[in-house]
Amino acid sequence: MIIERLSREHRNIETLLGILEHELEIFDRGDRPDYEVIRGIISYFQLYPELYHHPLEDLVFARLRLRDPAAAAKVGNLALEHQKGVERLRRVAQAVDAVLADREILRQDVDRIVRDFIESERRHIMMEDRDFFPAALKALQPQDWTEIASASTSQEDPLFSEAAEETFDELRARILGLEQEAEADRR
């Protein structure tokens, strides 16, 4: 089901934001974070949410505007929010590139740019979970979902799926490691 898939993707995105935040804390105290992992997260965000998650949400949102304009208005300008996310991500990628290339950039600027991305994404996801998805579940008709499903590509997530890509091996290992740590803590 489409909303289930989008919600699952939100949980995956939150996992990645948590890892990015952890790496940022390492950077902030003057140590060297794992840049492989950071670059993996940036690549993932450039790829999957941009190409599949947001376009699918945009399809659902277009239907919501037809079925319940007031609910859609409450959600706001989704396309613009997604666009702003792309710009924030671009700033993150540039800042990390600058650090890796030893170009002059203030630590506090890197921190501000990455933190801004993490916090904005979290706020955006929270809004979608709270306002957008429930409104869509309420207002859309069965035929809307069928049409959205046929208009969207059923591309597998390159990080969180069976057909996962090699590019993300390092990042996936990190996610697995963190999950095992959390598991061990619970015991």
DSSP calls for 51-118: IIIHHHHHHHHHHHHHH-HHHHHHH--HHHHHHHHHHHHHHHHHHHHHHHTT----HHHHHHHHHHHH
- C-beta closer to Fe ion: residue 37 or 60: 60
Stretch that binds Fe ion, among 58-66, 102-110, 128-136, 151-159 (CB under 5 A): 128-136
Q: What's the farthest any 2 CA atoms get from each other in the chain?
A: 54
Q: Which stretch binds Fe ion (CB under 5 A): 40-48, 96-104, 122-130, 179-187?
A: 122-130
Q: Which is nearer to Fe ion, 23 or 128 (CB)?
A: 128
Which listed range, 66-74, 82-90, 110-118, 126-134, lies at the site for Fe ion (CB under 5 A)?
126-134
- Tell the smallest beta-carbon distance from residue 13 to Fe ion (Å): 7
Q: Residues 51 to 110: which contact Fe ion by CB under 5 A?
A: none
Q: How far is 40 from 154, CA to CA, in rounded Å?
A: 22
Asked if residues 164 and 37 have their Cβ atoms less than 8 Å apart, the reply is: no
- Nearest approach, Cβ of residue 57 and Fe ion (Å): 5
d(CA 37, CA 56): 27
Q: How far is the CB of 67 from Fe ion (least distance, A)?
A: 19
Cα 22 to Cα 18, 58, 107, distances in angstroms:
6, 31, 16
Q: Would the CA dihedral through 124, 71, 7, 83 be positive or negative?
A: negative
To Fe ion, the closest distance from the beta carbon of 125 in angstroms equals 6
Nearer of residues 95 and 136 to Fe ion, judged by Cβ: 136
Number of residues engaging Fe ion in binding (CB under 5 A): 1
- If the CB atoms of residues 50 and 170 are measured against Fe ion, the closer one turns out to be 50
Closest residue to Fe ion using C-beta atoms: 128
Which of residues 125 and 171 has its CB atom nearest to Fe ion in the complex? 125
CB 12 within 8 A of CB 168: no
Contact 60, 2 (CB under 8 A): yes
Of 12 and 37, the one with the shorter C-beta distance to Fe ion is 12
The binding site for Fe ion (CB under 5 A) comprises 128
